[in-house]
Amino acid sequence: MGHLLTDVEPVGLLDHFYKLTQIPHPSGGERAICLYICDLAKRHGLEAIMDKAGGDDFGNIIVKCPATSGYEKAPTAVFQSHLDMVSLPVGHSDVPLDLLLDGTMLRARGSTLGADNGIAVAMALSLITEPDIPHGSLELLFTINEEAGMTGAIMLSDKVLQGRILINIDSQQKGTLTVSSAGANISILRMPLKMEAVENGLMPVLIRITGGRGGHSGLEINSGRANAGILLTRLLYGESKKVHLYLNNINWGNVDNAIPPEAGAVVLVRPEDLRIIKDAVQRWEEIFIKEYGKKEEQLRVSLDEDLPVPDFVMNNTTAERVLSLLLVLPNGVHKMSSDMEGLVETSSDVAKVRTSRTELTVNVSQRSSVDSSLDAIIDRCEAVANLSGAQLKNVGTNYGWKPDMKSRLLAVCKDAYRQTLGEEPRVVGIHGMLECGLIKAKYPDMDVISMGPTIIDAHAPTKADFIPGVDSDTTGERIDTARMPGFWEFVKTVLKKIALLEMR
């Protein structure tokens, strides 16, 4: 029986993609799709190995795909994709997708499409079912839970892959070849707080910084955007040298991978100092707007007097230590890449701060494509913690993938792109994380590259009442099927050139 994509080229690839969209596979719920792939491999006489990265009954899969006739002497390459998708809206993760075509643009009505990374999975399945595609021996690697922590790649054994060439199909912009990604770490600092009772007559005020642009700390850390929490700390530290500020709390940030757009602190002041603080708030807003200009035009500093009087404030020594700690923690771009112009190599983001009655908790997110540089900025946070009397714990440490502009695989991919698509690809690095960076850390001698077709509005659902031809400009994850034949031809050319190169 036919379906929406039955006659759309490339037919085999898009048939696989359609079938994948009919199997719910959100992050953490990949069991059904794992069993589907293992069964498909078995029906084609191929060995499929599944680990237990997802539990006892599903995990990462490696399908051993033998070389096409005539390419048996070519060494093994790894073709990698991830099985999970961001399934939105919430509550829509257990039903098949309702696909629609808006001209040549493919969407899913009322949900995300799962082109990230379903298109790559469909390519891998095509390599199973289309034996005439020229390639050397392949290990088709399907990882799980990429979108919710990359735990599949993290738990992948460092002894299961034989190939030393890896092609990752998880970049989302046609025309780019990705040759670097960042490693990451989160340092969690905990400082005990000594509180004291509030003196009679003190007035509480809430000082807030709002209107920051924020953004992903891997993508926007070099965009000149403000960390609202650091600005608030500057204000409090500077004014505390002029008037006595009694600090009750300071808080900002909600997630570890974002630049905080807002921050707030409750301080108490003597009545005679209230006018000084009000004037300071206005002055600091002018300072920040002047510093950031058009980068942060909506940035605002405000003061709210309508607050209940809290029972406790930090004692003077504790408040000074808190503000000093927050002010000296590394934040922003630390170093630019010496290999790729415009690429951030190492950065740090003081992402989240929480104050309780007894403790200050600070989450600092660090990234670097150079392992030693990541270690160095982690050490800086540890040194600051030691000086301030805080305890530090590092979690989620994963090392990055440094660009190798002399990579033989990169040269092959550039040549294949020019041959099939008639233009020069852009070679880029990213300051976010990719699974192939984690895999390379386990296999240091592996030659790695990432590529992918253009996916528009990845992870954003299309509205349920979408009307083709009317709502074409509205948000929603989509791919242009008209561009898929060219990209698929490019990928197949890369596989053939790798096999030919290795046989010379």
* Sheet strands side by side (includes 176-178): 47-50, 61-65, 138-143, 77-82, 165-168, 447-450, 176-178, 426-428
State how beta strands 391-398 and 183-192 pair.
antiparallel
3-class secondary structure, 135: coil
283 φ, ψ (degrees, to nearest 5): -65, -40
The overall average pLDDT reported for the chain is: 94
CA distances (Å), 138 to each of 6, 40, 161, 423, 486, in order?
Answer: 27, 16, 10, 28, 22
Peptide bond into 75 cis (omega under 30): no
User: Are 394 and 370 within 8 A, CB to CB?
Assistant: no
User: Are 458 and 422 within 8 A, CB to CB?
Assistant: no
175: left (phi over 0), alpha (psi -120 to 50) or beta: left
Residue type, 194: K
Nearest to 267 by CA among 239, 298, 227: 239
Tokens 């790798």 belong to residue: 498
Q: What stretches in the chain show pLDDT beneath 70?
A: 1, 502-504
pLDDT of residue 504: 45
Show the tokens assigned to 331. 């934040």
3-class secondary structure, 178: strand
The DSSP secondary-structure symbol of 364 reads E
Q: What is the CA radius of gyration of the chain?
A: 26
Q: Which domains does the chain have, with CATH numbers?
A: 11-181+402-503 (3.40.630.10), 184-398 (3.30.70.360)
Question: d(Cα 429, Cα 432) in Å, to the nearest integer?
Answer: 9
CA distances (Å), 328 to each of 203, 240, 380, in order?
Answer: 29, 16, 10
User: Are 359 and 192 within 8 A, CB to CB?
Assistant: yes
Q: Which long-range contacts (CB under 8 A, 24 or more apart) does 278-282 make?
A: 278/303, 280/235, 280/239, 280/242, 281/207, 281/235
Nearest to 178 by CA among 421, 489, 494, 431: 431
CA distances (Å), 143 to each of 61, 150, 233, in order?
Answer: 7, 8, 42
Question: d(Cα 172, Cα 81) in Å, to the nearest integer?
Answer: 13
Sign of CA dihedral 352, 356, 360, 361: negative
Question: d(Cα 18, Cα 109) in Å, to the nearest integer?
Answer: 14
The DSSP secondary-structure symbol of 258 reads B
Show the tokens assigned to 289. 């707007």
pLDDT of residue 502: 59
Question: d(Cα 483, Cα 10) in Å, to the nearest integer?
Answer: 10
